[in-house]
Structure 1
Amino acid sequence: MANLMEDDVFRTFTTYAAIVIVKMMLMGPMTAYYRFTRGSFSNEEDVARKSAEERKKMLRTHPDVERVRRCHQNDLENIVPFVVVGLLYALTGPELSAALLHFRIFAGSRIFHTIAYICPLPQPSRALSWLTGMGVTLSMAYKILSTVLLL
Protein backbone atom coordinates (compact mmCIF):
# COMPACT_ATOMS: atom_id res chain seq x y z
CA MET A 1 0.00 0.00 0.00
CA ALA A 2 2.87 2.37 0.75
CA ASN A 3 4.10 1.92 -2.83
CA LEU A 4 0.70 2.95 -4.18
CA MET A 5 0.79 6.19 -2.20
CA GLU A 6 4.07 7.05 -3.92
CA ASP A 7 2.32 6.92 -7.30
CA ASP A 8 1.19 10.41 -8.37
CA VAL A 9 -1.92 9.15 -10.19
CA PHE A 10 -3.06 7.08 -7.22
CA ARG A 11 -2.47 9.96 -4.78
CA THR A 12 -4.42 12.25 -7.08
CA PHE A 13 -7.25 9.72 -7.28
CA THR A 14 -7.44 9.37 -3.48
CA THR A 15 -7.57 13.16 -3.13
CA TYR A 16 -10.47 13.63 -5.54
CA ALA A 17 -12.26 10.50 -4.34
CA ALA A 18 -12.10 11.85 -0.79
CA ILE A 19 -13.43 15.24 -1.95
CA VAL A 20 -16.52 13.78 -3.65
CA ILE A 21 -17.13 11.26 -0.85
CA VAL A 22 -17.06 14.03 1.77
CA LYS A 23 -19.37 16.11 -0.45
CA MET A 24 -21.76 13.15 -0.62
CA MET A 25 -21.56 12.60 3.15
CA LEU A 26 -22.48 16.25 3.78
CA MET A 27 -25.81 15.68 2.06
CA GLY A 28 -27.03 13.78 5.16
CA PRO A 29 -26.60 16.75 7.52
CA MET A 30 -28.05 19.01 4.80
CA THR A 31 -31.15 16.80 4.69
CA ALA A 32 -31.45 17.03 8.47
CA TYR A 33 -31.09 20.82 8.31
CA TYR A 34 -33.90 21.06 5.76
CA ARG A 35 -36.07 18.68 7.80
CA PHE A 36 -35.72 20.81 10.93
CA THR A 37 -36.05 24.20 9.24
CA ARG A 38 -39.06 23.08 7.16
CA GLY A 39 -40.68 21.05 9.96
CA SER A 40 -40.94 18.00 7.75
CA PHE A 41 -40.28 14.57 9.25
CA SER A 42 -40.95 11.10 7.92
CA ASN A 43 -40.90 8.95 11.08
CA GLU A 44 -43.33 8.95 14.00
CA GLU A 45 -40.51 8.73 16.56
CA ASP A 46 -38.98 11.95 15.18
CA VAL A 47 -41.97 13.93 16.45
CA ALA A 48 -43.02 11.75 19.40
CA ARG A 49 -42.63 14.56 21.94
CA LYS A 50 -44.94 16.89 20.06
CA SER A 51 -48.69 17.21 20.54
CA ALA A 52 -51.00 15.19 18.31
CA GLU A 53 -51.82 18.28 16.26
CA GLU A 54 -48.15 19.21 15.82
CA ARG A 55 -47.26 15.62 14.88
CA LYS A 56 -49.91 15.65 12.18
CA LYS A 57 -48.43 18.85 10.70
CA MET A 58 -44.83 17.65 10.90
CA LEU A 59 -45.27 14.14 9.48
CA ARG A 60 -45.29 15.21 5.87
CA THR A 61 -43.05 15.63 2.90
CA HIS A 62 -41.70 19.02 1.91
CA PRO A 63 -40.46 19.88 -1.59
CA ASP A 64 -37.15 21.29 -0.30
CA VAL A 65 -36.42 18.18 1.78
CA GLU A 66 -37.28 15.92 -1.14
CA ARG A 67 -35.02 17.96 -3.43
CA VAL A 68 -32.04 17.43 -1.10
CA ARG A 69 -32.86 13.73 -0.75
CA ARG A 70 -32.99 13.30 -4.54
CA CYS A 71 -29.66 15.10 -4.86
CA HIS A 72 -28.16 12.75 -2.25
CA GLN A 73 -29.59 9.73 -4.09
CA ASN A 74 -28.07 10.99 -7.32
CA ASP A 75 -24.69 11.30 -5.56
CA LEU A 76 -24.93 7.69 -4.41
CA GLU A 77 -25.74 6.57 -7.94
CA ASN A 78 -22.77 8.43 -9.45
CA ILE A 79 -20.02 8.84 -6.86
CA VAL A 80 -19.87 5.18 -5.82
CA PRO A 81 -19.29 4.01 -9.43
CA PHE A 82 -16.73 6.80 -9.91
CA VAL A 83 -14.75 5.62 -6.89
CA VAL A 84 -14.72 1.99 -8.06
CA VAL A 85 -13.99 2.78 -11.70
CA GLY A 86 -11.51 5.52 -10.75
CA LEU A 87 -9.56 3.10 -8.57
CA LEU A 88 -9.31 0.58 -11.39
CA TYR A 89 -8.43 3.38 -13.81
CA ALA A 90 -5.63 4.61 -11.54
CA LEU A 91 -4.22 1.08 -11.50
CA THR A 92 -3.99 1.00 -15.34
CA GLY A 93 -1.12 3.49 -15.22
CA PRO A 94 -2.62 6.43 -17.11
CA GLU A 95 -0.70 9.63 -17.76
CA LEU A 96 -0.93 12.00 -14.80
CA SER A 97 -2.33 14.80 -16.96
CA ALA A 98 -5.14 12.57 -18.29
CA ALA A 99 -5.95 11.28 -14.81
CA LEU A 100 -6.00 14.82 -13.37
CA LEU A 101 -8.36 15.89 -16.13
CA HIS A 102 -10.75 13.00 -15.42
CA PHE A 103 -10.70 13.45 -11.64
CA ARG A 104 -11.00 17.24 -11.66
CA ILE A 105 -13.82 17.31 -14.18
CA PHE A 106 -15.77 14.68 -12.25
CA ALA A 107 -15.36 16.47 -8.90
CA GLY A 108 -16.28 19.81 -10.44
CA SER A 109 -19.31 18.35 -12.18
CA ARG A 110 -20.62 16.79 -8.95
CA ILE A 111 -20.12 19.98 -6.94
CA PHE A 112 -21.87 22.00 -9.65
CA HIS A 113 -24.62 19.36 -9.86
CA THR A 114 -25.35 19.83 -6.16
CA ILE A 115 -25.45 23.62 -6.51
CA ALA A 116 -27.73 23.34 -9.56
CA TYR A 117 -30.01 20.88 -7.73
CA ILE A 118 -30.30 22.67 -4.38
CA CYS A 119 -30.54 26.29 -5.60
CA PRO A 120 -32.27 25.27 -8.15
CA LEU A 121 -30.65 26.53 -11.34
CA PRO A 122 -32.58 26.30 -14.61
CA GLN A 123 -32.15 23.25 -16.79
CA PRO A 124 -30.10 22.10 -18.63
CA SER A 125 -27.45 23.07 -16.05
CA ARG A 126 -28.11 20.10 -13.77
CA ALA A 127 -28.49 17.67 -16.66
CA LEU A 128 -25.25 18.83 -18.28
CA SER A 129 -23.33 18.51 -15.02
CA TRP A 130 -24.71 14.99 -14.54
CA LEU A 131 -23.88 14.07 -18.13
CA THR A 132 -20.34 15.42 -17.73
CA GLY A 133 -19.71 13.29 -14.64
CA MET A 134 -21.20 10.23 -16.31
CA GLY A 135 -19.01 10.84 -19.36
CA VAL A 136 -15.89 10.95 -17.21
CA THR A 137 -16.76 7.66 -15.52
CA LEU A 138 -17.49 6.02 -18.88
CA SER A 139 -14.24 7.38 -20.31
CA MET A 140 -12.28 5.80 -17.47
CA ALA A 141 -14.21 2.54 -17.89
CA TYR A 142 -13.30 2.53 -21.59
CA LYS A 143 -9.61 3.01 -20.71
CA ILE A 144 -9.80 0.12 -18.23
CA LEU A 145 -11.48 -2.20 -20.70
CA SER A 146 -9.18 -1.29 -23.57
CA THR A 147 -6.14 -1.88 -21.35
CA VAL A 148 -7.40 -5.20 -20.00
CA LEU A 149 -8.63 -6.52 -23.35
CA LEU A 150 -5.26 -5.81 -24.98
CA LEU A 151 -3.40 -8.00 -22.48
Structure 2
Amino acid sequence: MDKLSFHDPLFRTYAIAASIMVLKALTMSWLTVVRMMQVRGGFRSPEDIKKTILNPHPNSEQLAPNEYVDRIRRIQLNDLENLPFFLVAGFLFILTEPSIALTQWLLYGYVVSRL
Protein backbone atom coordinates (compact mmCIF):
# COMPACT_ATOMS: atom_id res chain seq x y z
CA MET A 1 0.00 0.00 0.00
CA ASP A 2 3.04 2.26 0.13
CA LYS A 3 2.67 2.60 -3.62
CA LEU A 4 -0.45 4.72 -3.08
CA SER A 5 1.05 7.39 -0.87
CA PHE A 6 2.51 10.77 -1.67
CA HIS A 7 5.86 9.50 -0.38
CA ASP A 8 6.09 7.41 -3.56
CA PRO A 9 7.41 9.58 -6.43
CA LEU A 10 5.44 7.53 -8.99
CA PHE A 11 2.13 8.16 -7.26
CA ARG A 12 3.04 11.80 -6.70
CA THR A 13 3.75 12.19 -10.44
CA TYR A 14 0.43 10.55 -11.29
CA ALA A 15 -1.47 12.70 -8.78
CA ILE A 16 0.03 15.91 -10.19
CA ALA A 17 -0.68 14.94 -13.81
CA ALA A 18 -4.22 13.77 -12.99
CA SER A 19 -4.96 16.95 -11.03
CA ILE A 20 -3.79 19.16 -13.88
CA MET A 21 -5.98 17.26 -16.35
CA VAL A 22 -9.05 17.47 -14.11
CA LEU A 23 -8.48 21.20 -13.54
CA LYS A 24 -8.13 21.71 -17.30
CA ALA A 25 -11.44 19.92 -17.92
CA LEU A 26 -13.15 22.12 -15.31
CA THR A 27 -11.58 25.25 -16.74
CA MET A 28 -12.82 24.43 -20.23
CA SER A 29 -16.41 24.39 -18.93
CA TRP A 30 -16.06 27.92 -17.62
CA LEU A 31 -14.23 29.07 -20.75
CA THR A 32 -17.20 27.85 -22.80
CA VAL A 33 -19.53 29.96 -20.67
CA VAL A 34 -17.24 32.99 -20.93
CA ARG A 35 -17.17 32.72 -24.71
CA MET A 36 -20.95 32.38 -24.90
CA MET A 37 -21.31 35.54 -22.82
CA GLN A 38 -18.74 37.40 -24.94
CA VAL A 39 -20.56 36.73 -28.21
CA ARG A 40 -24.02 36.53 -26.61
CA GLY A 41 -24.68 33.41 -28.62
CA GLY A 42 -23.76 29.83 -29.31
CA PHE A 43 -26.24 28.60 -26.75
CA ARG A 44 -27.48 25.02 -26.98
CA SER A 45 -30.95 24.92 -25.49
CA PRO A 46 -34.00 27.20 -25.45
CA GLU A 47 -33.65 27.58 -21.68
CA ASP A 48 -30.38 29.42 -22.30
CA ILE A 49 -32.12 32.34 -24.01
CA LYS A 50 -34.34 33.32 -21.12
CA LYS A 51 -34.17 36.93 -20.04
CA THR A 52 -31.65 37.34 -17.22
CA ILE A 53 -29.22 39.94 -15.97
CA LEU A 54 -26.52 38.41 -18.17
CA ASN A 55 -28.85 38.17 -21.18
CA PRO A 56 -31.14 41.22 -21.05
CA HIS A 57 -32.20 41.01 -24.73
CA PRO A 58 -32.70 37.33 -25.62
CA ASN A 59 -33.55 36.24 -29.15
CA SER A 60 -33.72 32.97 -31.06
CA GLU A 61 -30.57 33.80 -33.07
CA GLN A 62 -28.56 33.11 -29.92
CA LEU A 63 -29.25 29.39 -30.45
CA ALA A 64 -27.46 29.44 -33.81
CA PRO A 65 -24.08 27.68 -33.86
CA ASN A 66 -21.11 29.96 -33.23
CA GLU A 67 -17.67 28.72 -34.28
CA TYR A 68 -15.91 30.74 -31.55
CA VAL A 69 -17.95 28.93 -28.87
CA ASP A 70 -18.12 25.56 -30.63
CA ARG A 71 -14.33 25.29 -30.86
CA ILE A 72 -14.01 25.39 -27.07
CA ARG A 73 -17.00 23.07 -26.72
CA ARG A 74 -15.30 20.50 -29.00
CA ILE A 75 -12.07 20.74 -27.00
CA GLN A 76 -14.05 20.23 -23.79
CA LEU A 77 -15.88 17.19 -25.19
CA ASN A 78 -12.59 15.68 -26.34
CA ASP A 79 -11.15 16.17 -22.85
CA LEU A 80 -14.19 14.58 -21.25
CA GLU A 81 -13.91 11.58 -23.57
CA ASN A 82 -10.21 11.02 -22.91
CA LEU A 83 -9.89 11.96 -19.24
CA PRO A 84 -11.32 8.72 -17.77
CA PHE A 85 -8.99 6.61 -19.92
CA PHE A 86 -5.99 8.71 -18.89
CA LEU A 87 -6.88 8.41 -15.21
CA VAL A 88 -7.33 4.62 -15.36
CA ALA A 89 -4.38 3.90 -17.67
CA GLY A 90 -2.07 6.20 -15.70
CA PHE A 91 -3.07 4.60 -12.41
CA LEU A 92 -2.54 1.07 -13.71
CA PHE A 93 0.77 2.15 -15.25
CA ILE A 94 2.22 3.40 -11.97
CA LEU A 95 1.22 0.13 -10.27
CA THR A 96 3.68 -1.67 -12.57
CA GLU A 97 6.50 0.32 -10.92
CA PRO A 98 8.17 1.75 -14.03
CA SER A 99 11.16 4.06 -13.71
CA ILE A 100 10.41 7.54 -12.43
CA ALA A 101 11.97 9.11 -15.54
CA LEU A 102 9.72 7.10 -17.87
CA THR A 103 6.67 7.87 -15.73
CA GLN A 104 7.34 11.60 -15.72
CA TRP A 105 8.11 11.63 -19.42
CA LEU A 106 4.89 9.81 -20.34
CA LEU A 107 2.43 11.40 -17.90
CA TYR A 108 3.75 14.95 -18.08
CA GLY A 109 4.22 14.57 -21.84
CA TYR A 110 0.55 13.69 -22.18
CA VAL A 111 -0.46 16.65 -20.02
CA VAL A 112 1.66 19.07 -22.07
CA SER A 113 0.25 17.69 -25.32
CA ARG A 114 -3.30 18.37 -24.07
CA LEU A 115 -2.61 21.94 -22.95
Aligned residue for 1:48? 50
Does residue 19 of the first structure (1) align with residue 36 of the second (2)?
A: no
Measure, in 2, the Cα distance between the counterparts of 1:2 and 1:55: 58
Structure 2 counterparts to residues 23-102 of structure 1, below 5 A? 23-40=24-41, 41-49=43-51, 54-102=58-106
Higher relative contact order (CA 8 A, sep 6+): 2
Percent pairwise identity:
30
**What residue in structure 2 maps to residue 4 of structure 1?**
4
Which runs of no fewer than 5 residues in structure 2 stay unpaired? none
Structure 1 residue 54: Cα displacement: 3.7
* Mapped contact 2:17–2:107 kept (Cα < 8 A): yes
Report the aligned-residue RMSD. Answer: 1.8
Q: State TM-score, norm by structure 2.
A: 0.85
1:65-117 CA deviation, whole Å, 9 max, x = no partner? 11111111111222221111000001111111110111111011000xxxxxx
Q: CA deviation at 1:2?
A: 6.4
- Number of corresponding residues: 109
TM-score, structure 1 normalization: 0.66
